[in-house]
Structure 1
Amino acid sequence: MADRFNEGEIVVCIDASGKHSLTEGKEYRVICVSTSGGSIQLRNDQGRRVGALARRFKKVEQKSQRQAKYEMKLALYAASGGLFPYPEAPKKVPRSIKIDPRDAKAALTKMLKEVYGIDATVEQVIGAMDKSLELVLGA
């Protein structure tokens, strides 16, 4: 037997044989489940409440809200004949960004002056740290 279904779940028809006008591959909402779990009730393609064998259906995995919204936008776009702007794909976050070394040095020098009150360039501070390490390590 297929999965144990619950009321309100979305199922997809995997075997449309029978007289209930069900479409294979189409999603349906479970209205009622028998106590044995062997049959379920749902609305067919004409909107009529029908009973069907549970083994002819499988559970639909829940989609993430983001994916569901994206698919909804696609459906609206298709249904409207293009009145809505084309939906955007989920945005990708850049993994790294490139910065010009001169810009980085200028920003760090400015930070030294404004935040720490040090009137020196980044190169001077790094050079002083390098000399301090040589003295400490005795190299």
Structure 2
Amino acid sequence: MAKFIAGQTVVCIDAKSKRYLTEGKSYVVIEASSSGRSVLVKDDSGVRRGTLASRFQSKVAYEQEKMERFFENVPAGTIIPVPRGMVGGHMLVQAMPKKAKTPRTVKIDPLDAKVALTKMLKEVYGIEATVEQVIGSMDKSLELVLAA
């Protein structure tokens, strides 16, 4: 849990059931408890309210997370305009493309697998035999692996 100090700018990250706070809005800490569990802020209507510190995140950390989430969704090679006051006029994103998730298990028909493996034996290895014949001539352990 982050410990906040008076005068620090924080951002509300959890405004559920709190009608006087807005998620994503910045607030200034007026006072923080010594345990770090609660803070006193001025809410949206200007009233001083005490609330849990866990509902807030420091503005710097919030902005950093926001940028990380943004760059996760930007395709590589995209040109993004840079806000005023920053050096340059554009920024080229060199983002890594997301890896496609590979399935952990694939269910296939055993007959299709036998046909594909027999075809591979003929084309790749030049063996004129069916998968059953190759398995029958080998150790039982291979048969168990392919049958599973």
Question: Shared fold (TM-score greater than 0.5)?
Answer: no
Q: Give TM class, smaller chain.
A: 0.3 to 0.5
Between Structure 1 and Structure 2, which shows a larger proportion of helix residues? Answer: 1
